[in-house]
Structure 1
Amino acid sequence: MSTLFGGAAASSATSTTGDTSKDVEIPQAQLPTDSISDLSFSPTGDFLAVSSWDGSVRIYEVNASGASGKWMFQCQPAQGQPEHPLCVSWSKDGTRVAAGGDQGSIFYLDLRTAGDGGEVKVTHTWKPHSAGVKGIRWFQSGGKDFLASGSWDKTIKYWDFTSETPVAQLQCQERVYSMDVKDSLLVIATAERHIHIVNLNDPSKIYKTITSPLKWQTRVVSCFTDATGFAVGSIEGRCAIQYVEDKDTSLNFSFKCHRQQDPTSRDIAKVYSVNAISFHPQHGTFSTAGSDGTFHFWDKDAKHRLKGYPEVGGSITATGFNKDGNIFAYAVSYDWSKGYAANTPQYPIKLKLHPVVGDECKPRPGSKKR
């Protein structure tokens, strides 16, 4: 997709201020009508799935003009009220999409039977959780595809799609707020700052539980590219880098981000939630994005910020890199951090594609790639 963004200039090797002037915005007519809850790029092609509080999951095809809507489905169970999808994820072969609803349902679409495009019906839906599904991730084990769903009902359930009975289940200490998978590593962040680490070769057992190194509520966890650890983001404008094995604990650290200094006092700073963390698929560097409407690229091994980008006009609720790492997608919409009353009709809803060029996401010379 090197032609997607045409003549985007390579970023300066010395400047730490990034350029968003070449970012491509998805036309308003193709966007959801309410906040974007999650987004996910296909691991095999240039397709982007986006879930929204308007009850829809939209799948865009990224092409020479930016992106265009390809498929769309509503999260409507066979029985009961429509649900709002909170999370979305692709299968490893890029043929299926799953989304988790706010009332406990899972919605599954097999694109091989979805036709050429347009609005489609979900292939299958079932309601295995008694509360909202906040995390959903595909993984492979023994050559087979599985789906993990994490819920506010404090459980993780695993599915092989042969029945509506989970093949395994895991009891968490609290409600699931975020989860991520890389290879055989599953990381689950719950309420009360618990973080469960699971080896998916033994998925019904918790390998290790830690308390988040951050003092306030966890918003997001994201696994390293090499599956040796994960990053944690919280509501306090901090991010933590955490390794799985005890032998690597000396490499753990946390840092401040998504804060704005009060111009009237050096002792006061506005603190914003870290809503999204995404790792670059090739370089192992990562992004953070937050309620302050900014995103940044970081090199964890050098403990260095690579680029910081100007405010984009609203909170960033979800981010992701495409399979090649040359496109960074980010969603601008209300993140509910100030309650329902602040979600006005005037609040922007945007979906933008940022071309990753030059040294934007490359680790600093000498950094160990992870």
Structure 2
Amino acid sequence: MSFLSSSNVNVTQGTVQDLQNDVVVGNGPEDSISDLAFSPQAELLAVASWDKKVRVYEVLPTGTTEGRALYDHESPVLAVHWSPDGTKVATGAADRQVRLYDVQTGQVQNLGMHEAPVKALRFVEVGPTSTPVVVSGGWDKTLRYWDPRSAQPMATVALPERVYAMDTSQKLLVVATAERHIGVIDLNQPQQLFKQTMSPLKWQTRTVACYPQGNGYAIGSIEGRCCLQYIDATEQAKSGFSFKCHRVPRPAPAKESDVYSINSIRFHPVYGTFSTAGSDGAFHFWDKDQKHRLKGFPAGPTSISSTAFNRNGGIFAYAYSYDWSKGPEGNSANTPIQLRLHATKDEEVKQRNKK
């Protein structure tokens, strides 16, 4: 199905002018940006990059940014996430390592290793006691739970394929792997898959994001299609759906469109609306409950590889950089690498009243 657009085209379709005041973060990564994450406690943005480095920037009240921390892995860094208290940053990399960086002391701790690159990770609270741990997903087809006090994983969960994306909210953890497998885990019982299913989308999963309420998730594929899923079967039958986006019609008389990968989906932490960003270099804000687009923005100079909302949703970070969608041969020294911050307005991200 297609999302319904508001009758006010000026509201739903942004212009280049709408992006002119977006802040460009200085001293950025020197290679593709793989992941972004804001601290839940402060205006700090952690950035993972293919240049093997992790950078932490502070967004100042003036809107400008300053570098606050820098550490590295031995290989491209593929995943980054903050602890709930904002004191630590976890990272996973192609060197198979999971590392923990203490923002206050500058100390780096090796939490553990996978047998293949680490593609995704999250801080979660597991079991009836809500024990805080880091969960990582790798191309070795496993999930591993790490307690910083132990050198060995607390638990390892075998998966059907390599991990491509992962997200969590409340007690929900959703893992998307190669070959379109989706694993759903209840973090009260973290050592087992609560549900294993196939993506309803026909092509490879690129990104997954859990709803803030923890009752479902959105997945995006390489085929410019987004799917909204619910854990409860009754709710899924009532409210689940998929829609096309990140497709650019070719000039007439051609009837085809160029189709682009959805690289990042993120939910607004306050309003529960969500963003998509893709290989077309564009990002959009959507309302899943009323099934319409709140606002779309014009494409930039290259792919958007990753995005993130800050803790109150007032800042939307997005990274222009090569997303490897065309393989190594698609990369070029001329491809822009730029991290930008967009100050969101309520009319862009807040649910509208029903008409």
TM-score (norm: length of structure 2): 0.93
Q: Aligned residue for 2:21?
A: 22
Aligned counterpart, 1:180: 167
Question: Within 2, Cα distance between the matches of 1:72 and 1:50?
Answer: 10
Structure 2 spans left out of the alignment, 5+ residues: 1-7
Counterpart-to-counterpart distance in 1, 2:112 and 2:145: 13
1:357 equivalent among 342, 345, 348? 345
Name the counterpart of 1:113. Answer: 105
Counterpart position of 1:117: none
Residue aligning to 1:60: 57
Secondary structure, aligned partner of 2:286 = strand
For the 8 Å contact 2:111–2:148, the answer to whether it is kept is: no
Local SS of the residue matching 1:15: helix
Q: How many residues align?
A: 341
| 1:91 Cα deviation from its structure 2 partner | 0.3
Asked if the contact 1:178–1:221 (Cα under 8 Å) also holds between the matched residues in 2, the reply is yes
Distance 1:225 1:305 in 2: 19
- SS of equivalent residue, structure 1 residue 307: strand
Check whether the contact 1:333–1:348 (CA below 8 A) recurs between aligned residues: yes
- Give secondary structure in 2 for the equivalent of 1:112: coil
Contact 2:112 2:152 in 1 (8 A): no
Amino acid at match of 2:159: C
Find the counterpart in structure 1 of residue 224 from structure 2.
237
Distance 2:346 2:216 in 1: 27
Q: Percent identity?
A: 48
What's the CA shift for 1:65? Answer: 4.1
- How far residue 72 of structure 1 moved from its aligned partner, in angstroms, is 0.5
CA displacement at 1:71 relative to structure 2: 0.4
CA distance in 2 between counterparts of 1:15 and 1:92 reads 35
Q: What are the Cα deviations for residues 195-223 of structure 1, in whole angstroms up to 9, with x where unaligned?
A: 00000000001011111011000000000
Which one-letter code corresponds to 2:326 in the other structure?
K
Q: 1:13 to 1:347 in 2, by over 3 A?
A: closer
* Rounded Cα–Cα distance in structure 1 between residues aligned with 2:113 and 2:332: 33
Structure-2 separation of matches of 1:345 and 1:158:
38
Q: How does 1:155-166 map to 2 (within 5 A)?
A: 155-166=142-153
Tell whether 2:267 aligns with 1:279: yes
The SS at the match of 1:48 is strand
SS at match of 1:93: coil
From 248, 253, 256, give the equivalent of 2:244.
256
**Paired residue for 1:9?**
none
Aligned-residue RMSD, C-alpha: 1.4
- The one-letter amino acid of 1:225's match is P
| Corresponding residue SS for 1:108 | strand
Note if 1:74 corresponds to 2:72: yes
Note if contact 1:277-1:287 (Cα within 8 Å) is conserved in structure 2: yes
Quote the Cα distance in structure 2 between the aligned partners of 1:252 and 1:357.
27
Runs of 4+ with >4 A deviation: none
Deviations, residues 60-108 of structure 1 (Å, cap 9, x unaligned) = 0000142111100011xxxxxx111100000010000010011311111
Question: Is 2:323 the counterpart of 1:338?
Answer: no
Unaligned runs of 5+ in 1: 1-11, 76-81, 115-121
Alpha-carbon shift at residue 192 of structure 1 (Å): 0.6
Report the TM-score, using the length of structure 1 for normalisation. 0.90
Distance 2:235 2:346 in 1: 31
Would you say 1:298 and 2:283 are equivalent positions? Answer: no
CA contact (8 A) 2:22 2:342 kept: yes
CA contact (8 A) 1:103 1:130 kept: no
Letter in 2 for 1:112: Q
Aligned pair 1:328/2:316, yes or no?
yes
Q: Following the alignment from structure 1 to structure 2, what is the Cα–Cα distance between the partners of residues 192 and 140?
A: 28
